[in-house]
Homo-oligomer: A and B are copies of this chain.
Amino acid sequence: MDEFDLIRRYFSRDAEAGAAIVGVGDDGAVLRPTPGTHQVQVTDTLVEAVHFPANVAARDIGYRSVAVNLSDIAAMGGRPRWMTLALTLWDKDEEWVEAFAAGLYEAAAEHGVALVGGDTTQGDSVVVTVHVSGEVDEGAAILRSGAKPGDTVFVTGTIGDAAAGLELFREGIVDDDLVRRFLRPVARIATGLQLVKKANAAIDVSDGLVADLSKLLGASGVGAMIDIEKVPLSTALLARFDIDSARRFALTGGDDYELCFTAPAAAVAGVEGITAIGTVTENRGLVCRDAGEIVEVDDRGYRHFT
């Protein structure tokens, strides 16, 4: 099956009516931006054995490759509209491609995103790059750089599940809620849209809560104090792991694709599914507290200063 056949067969479902003037099949896509909006563009690559174990199902890889990009759109407060796919394959048969495409379209359909172009190539390993274009009203994008001293620090959902799920998956466990949190991240598009003109800064949690919040704080030129006992942990996580392990996953684990944002508490009082975990400070740097005592956090977890 050559590239042309592959694209035609699996990646050229009709773009939704009106979403694209020209989609897959020409030199490029032609898209009609909504008047009065700015474009938000994001791109993210998944590499086999780096971003996911080699034995992850093709359908999950397809889903995940879209979801992680949608998560970036969510963190900007954007509405996703179009995506392109660059797929480098190695040693994969048609069945794999079909399942991959099914997962990709599943994630896209949840948010009305149309696949408008792509490129399939042969390489030494599986490399999936998705590029998503979305829209925000002019001046409405939520940046990393807007956090203000006095803002409350919030997260959506529960944190740490995906990292725990990845560990379980590596142990051979597949049918588990935590594993599904890793394989099928939920992009917080609806919450992101609700945060427009309310949140001062936002980022999605991909590398770990401490790492990603630190990036946001650095971009904003501020700091924060968070209470690690306030970081929301799922009952699934606490059922499987002791509290220290659960917190290690939550603080340093990554792959959750929840949003971490800062806002005046009153501004987001009506937003559901969010938890306050701390406060933005003028002093730069992120300080973590456990029951009021300052602790040090690194990749191995957190510990009290001695």
Contact = CB atoms under 8 A, between A and B. Distances in A.
Nearest to A131: B131
Nearest to A132: B28
A12 interface: no
A86 B41 CA distance: 13
A208 to B, nearest CB: 13
29 contacts: A21-B38, A22-B141, A22-B143, A26-B76, A27-B75, A27-B203, A28-B40, A28-B42, A28-B73, A30-B76, A31-B39, A31-B40, A31-B41, A33-B33, A33-B38, A35-B35, A41-B117, A41-B131, A44-B119, A45-B88, A47-B88, A50-B121, A50-B122, A50-B123, A84-B131, A86-B86, A86-B129, A127-B127, A129-B129
A94 interface: no
Interface in A65-84: 72-73, 75-76, 78, 82, 84
A141 B30 contact: yes
A53 interface: no
Nearest to A35: B35
A47 B122 contact: yes
Interface of A: 21-22, 25-33, 35, 37-45, 47, 49-51, 72-73, 75-76, 78, 82, 84-86, 88, 116-119, 121-125, 127, 129, 131, 133-134, 136, 138, 141, 143-145, 202-204, 219
A41 B28 contact: yes
Most chain B beta-carbon contacts within 10 A, residue among A45, A50, A144:
A45
A22 B42 CA distance: 11
A204 B47 CA distance: 30
Given A33-B33, A35-B35, A127-B127, A121 B42 contact: no
A86 to B, nearest CB: 4
Contact of A45 (B37, B49, B119): B119
B25 A30 contact: no
Given A127-B88, A141-B21, A28 B78 contact: yes
A37 B29 CA distance: 13
Contact of A123 (B37, B125, B138): B125
Shortest 8 CB-CB contacts between residues of A and residues of B: A28-B42, A86-B129, A31-B39, A124-B125, A27-B75, A47-B123, A27-B72, A129-B129
A42 to B, nearest CB: 4
Contacts of A82: 41
A51 B121 contact: yes
